[in-house]
Amino acid sequence: MSEVAVIGAGAWGTALAIQAARAGRSVVLWARTPARLASRENPRLPGFRLPDAVTITGDLPTAALVLLTVPLQYMRAVAARLPPGGPLVVCAKGMEAGTLGLPLDVLAAVQPGRPAAVLTGPNFAHEVAAGLPAATVVAAVAAAVREAAAAALGTPFFRIYGNDDPVGAQVGGAAKNVVAIAAGAVIGAGLGENARAAVVTRGLAELARLAVAMGGRADTIAGLSGLGDLMLTCAGTGSRNFSLGFALGRGERLDDVLRRRDSVTEGVATAPALVARAKEVGAELPICAIVAGVVTGQLTVPQAMDRLLSRPRKDE
């Protein structure tokens, strides 16, 4: 049995497999089509060769620690097929369409009783693969699960912080993608850096409101899984969500933008689910609601901007 299994061979899964090997672990990387990695280089993460310590397989493996990196909207089907093994660490962000569940809610439904955590934070896959300095969060109620994940993946250049508020950490990871679409649209529409700063700051307030309403803590949103991730995702075109918003702000059609991509832009599916969940718990999310309107075709970007700017004034 390997020490670490990575389920999903996208850019992030490949980067985490490289990082686990860098941390000295034996790693098995599950790919839906292993032949695509025959050269040991992933087309979705070009320039990085998988180390010899990483075994590539098409069979779902068992391991002492299992990292789930498949996109959240597909995670339920994959997680339900996992063989017994060690704790599960979700490395995907978002809210499941239909059930409105966070990642750990999905795991609890298909792997009941199995220890689980979420890994989240401001991490671009190509920088982690390159070994550039980064920090991230492992959030779980059980300290032993947090410590196991940190021990398996942590190195001096990949600093892992524990957090005992998985709800807040998951909300931060989900909602920041939605805010990033809004930030990208602002820049794409030529509305300027002042407007982007306003959207990001007020978006952070929405993250905190939703986290608290769902039973998390506001101070979690002030950390790596909230503010840190929001800063990275709203900073430029290296972010899939920001770049999608940028394209929408320039007048491109959503379907056209998505058709050109071979990776998932998490905020598109998450936005309407997030707004529906916020309504259930009584949290007001005006920026996220505007984004949901845009990605579901109910609003154009100019209409969305007009709606935000015409909101009544109030104290911060």
Instruction: Report, as residue numbers or ranges, the catalytic residues.
Output: 176
**Cβ-contact 14, 45 below 8 angstroms:** yes
Cα–Cα nearest to 221, from 172, 274, 278: 172
> What is the Cα–Cα distance from 170 to 137, expressed in whole angstroms?
10
**Cβ-contact 45, 69 below 8 angstroms:** no
Q: Are strands 134-139 and 158-163 parallel, antiparallel or unpaired?
A: parallel
The CA-based angle 193-198-192, given to 5 degrees, is: 20
| Non-local CB neighbours of 138 within 8 Å, separated by 6+ positions | 89, 117, 118, 119, 145, 146, 149, 150, 160, 161, 162, 163
313 is written with which tokens? 């004034």
**Cβ-contact 15, 21 below 8 angstroms:** no
